[in-house]
Every structure is written in C-alpha cells, then in structure tokens.
Homo-oligomer: A and B are copies of this chain.
Amino acid sequence: MTDQTKFTLAEDRIPTHWVNLLPDLPGEPLPPLNPGTMEPAGPDDLTPIFPMELIGQEVSMEPEVEIPEAVREVYRLWRPTPLYRARRLEQALDTPAHIYYKYEGVSPAGSHKPNSAVAQAYANKEAGIERLATETGAGQWGSALALACSLFGLECVVYMVGASYDQKPYRRAMMESWGATVIRSPSDTTEAGRSQAEHATGSLGIAISEAVEVAAGQAGTNYALGSVLNHVCLHQTVIGQETMAQMEMAGEEPDVVVGCVGGGSNFAGMSFPYLRRVLRGEAKTRFVAAEPAACPTLTRGAYRYDFGDTVGLTPLMPMYTLGHDFVPPPVHAGGLRYHGDSPIISGLVKHGLMEARAYRQNETFEAAVRFARTEAILPAPEPSHAIRAVMDEAEDAKQAGEQRVILFNLCGHGHFDMSAYDAYLAGKLEDPEFSEADMDAALERLPDTPAIA
C-alpha cells in the first residue's frame, strides 16, 4: 500500500511479449468454419486478406508471442500508459473498495485500439502489402489504423458506417489528417455495399463486408479487423501486463477485473494476463464484462456459429451472437454495437469463467458524468459501461463491508462523443431497448450451422 494516485512505468517496461491465452484454455479451441464446406477454415481461407504472420498468431499455441522491435518502437510514443487509483471517486461513493483504472485514452487516437493497429500495420508492411482496408463505426478503430498506416507508410481506406459518417465529421477529419481515405458505407464502390443500399445509415456488419470484399479482390490490399479475432486480443495484452507491474507498485491484487465488451479486444487485453493466473490455479479473480442492454450479445445472444459480417464473406465463428444481420439500436457506444463477440471471450462466459452484465444507455452516462466530476477524465461511452459496473461493485462492497479491490480499463476518452454528453445533460438522450423479436428473426436467417457442445 502507498499513498500514490498515479503509477507510471519507464518506457523500458513496455512488454516484450504478448500473452496468448489459447494454450491455457480448457479443451481444444473451436475452429472457425468454412461456410461452404462447414469444415474447419485453414490458412487458405484467410491468406487472401491477412498476412501469414497474423494468421500464425491467430492459431498459435505458444503461451507468449514476441513483439517485434519496430512495434515496440511505436508503442513508445504513448506506452506504458498510466494506472490510477480513483481516490476521489472512492470518496464520492463512500465505499471501502479500492478502485484502480488503467487509462488507454492517452494514445494519440484516444483509445486502446492502436495497440493492435500498429502490430497489424507492421505485419502487413513486412509482408509487402501496400494498402489496408477496414471498417469503423464510432471511429476509434478507423482512427487507430489510419495512424498506424501513416507511421509505416501504408495506404489506408476506411469504410465508415453511414450514420457515424454523417454524425461524426470530426472523426473522419482525424482519419484524413493521418492520410486515410474515408468512404461512407454502404457505398457504391463494392458489390456488398450496392447490395445493401437500402440500409442507408449502414451498420458495422455491412462496412466489414465492404472492406473484406476490397481486400479479397485487390492485389496488394489486405484487411484489418479491430477486435473479435484471437490475434487482435493477443496484441491488446500489453494493457494487462503493464497493469500487473503497476498493481505491484500499488501493493494490491485485484479481486475483480471489469471491462466493457463489444468485440472483446479491450477486455481481453486487460483480463487475459490475469485469467492465465486463474486458469493455472495461481489466483482467484472475478471477471465482469459490461455490455449495452441495447446490444446484449453475451447476456442474451445465442452461442453458436455465425458470420462476422452482414453479407457472409467471413468464416463462421463460434461465439455469442444476435445474428449477423441484426442491426442494434443506435446507442452512442458505437464500439459496442456488434452482433457477435470474440470466440475466446464467448467461451469464457459460456464456461462461467467470466460474468456478463448489460446496462442501459442513460445509466452509463450518469456514471460517466459522476466519474468526470471526480476523476476529471471524460470517458468514452464504451468504458462508461465498465464504470457503471464498477460503481455497482463498489456499492456491493460497501454493503458487505469489504475492502474489495476493483480494477478496470478506461479504454478511451469521450472527446469525440460530446454530442452524446450534451443530449444526456439536456435530458434528451434516448434509452433504446433490445428487440428479442428482431434477434429471433436474425437467428432464423443463419446458415444451418453445427451445434456447439
């Protein structure tokens, strides 16, 4: 224990390896399936859009994967990120709990996303690729990849969900400032886009279809995904590793680790290094995943094989899903509006190693404003879901009279989400509900996929 508030590490403490949870998971990993044959998808299914280095990371059974020096060199621009003890928030909540948060909003793109964007851009550059195509919703991932491509001299094209493109011109300008080309999705530049033209406001699933189509069809162009896949979760584990060193400086061990989950990479990054300890019997830690009640993949989705995109261009993945053409209500936490989830995170929830909770939009903004007025940082709507869950844990600790240690990742700032804060403060923020009927209809449109044991 110390009286410190902020725990910083020198840059030589940036991790040298990423933590791969795959070999420690119980049972054999469920493979993705080729939708045509329903057989396990192999490298050949992925080489048209990913470089071999990343395909290797996707299926690696090594417990640690070395981080290339060129990637660590870029990480040094903002890593290690700080860990804070939320003393002012604890006081405001009048809780005996100790609350710690890692702050990834200090990255130039404003979130944890560059941790993977830089690794992906570098692997593609090394493979001789000249251009990356991707999609973005709220803009966090698109910004991160635009930045990474700019640093490695790659071209970058971003398909931006139509509604966000219209509402968030500043996110678009940010990507363009780093040299990316930003296209409103659905667009007429792809077959997938033209086939979905009637959905004028777009969706993440449609934008993924467009970017994958471009990558698969053009030589020298690859695709980059900002979450869900194993290699993306892998890259994010720099977060949890640094946090472990910082919690050691604080002299505490977390009793519970909390994170928001959309595709899962943020929570994977923080939790996997801690989860490995639990899986190896070295620690007892609880894990709580927070998601929007408007897109409750982990709490109300079906656990089965589904596509990662709307049109059906990706392999089938074993995960919790609301159906690949389910369009979630337009909550401001755009990074959490995804029909599916990381197969690893899904498996952990399925096997009871991780708990999931869903929160309504207004209660997350209430938590965000309370956090801002005590801890000063304005959180993005996504981690505000985690903050809401943290406050519940802190209240629970108070009721139980426990000095519980709560840890979460504040994965981004809200500087590009002020219109949402504005609406909340004016009492005009919508609080949309999830439509089970819509999900049921979406699930019926799934291909006839094998049941998961």
Contacts and interface: CB of A to CB of B under 8 A. Distances in A.
A110 interface: yes
A348 interface: no
A4 B8 contact: no
Interface in A144-169: 147, 150-151, 169
B376 A176 contact: no
A108 interface: yes
A378 B170 contact: no
Nearest to A422: B173
Interface string A37-72: 000000000000000000000000000000000000
Interface residues on A, range: 35 or more
A419 interface: yes
Interface stretch (A228-236, A367-375, A400-408, A429-437): A367-375
Interface in A164-201: 169-174, 176-179
A6 interface: yes
B11 A10 contact: no
Taken together, the copies of this chain in the complex come to 2
A415 interface: yes
Contact of A177 (B84, B178, B378): B378
Contacts of A418: 169-171, 173-174, 177
B5 A425 contact: no
Nearest to A376: B108
B369 A177 contact: yes
A88 interface: yes
A11 B8 contact: yes
B416 A176 contact: no
A244 interface: no
A177 B425 contact: yes
B376 A6 contact: no
Interface string A1-42: 000111011110000000000000000000000000000000
A183 to B, nearest CB: 16
B170 A108 contact: no
Contacts of A172: 422
Given A8-B8, A169-B422, 8 more contacts: A5-B73, A170-B418, A170-B422, A173-B421, A176-B421, A177-B369, A177-B373, A178-B373
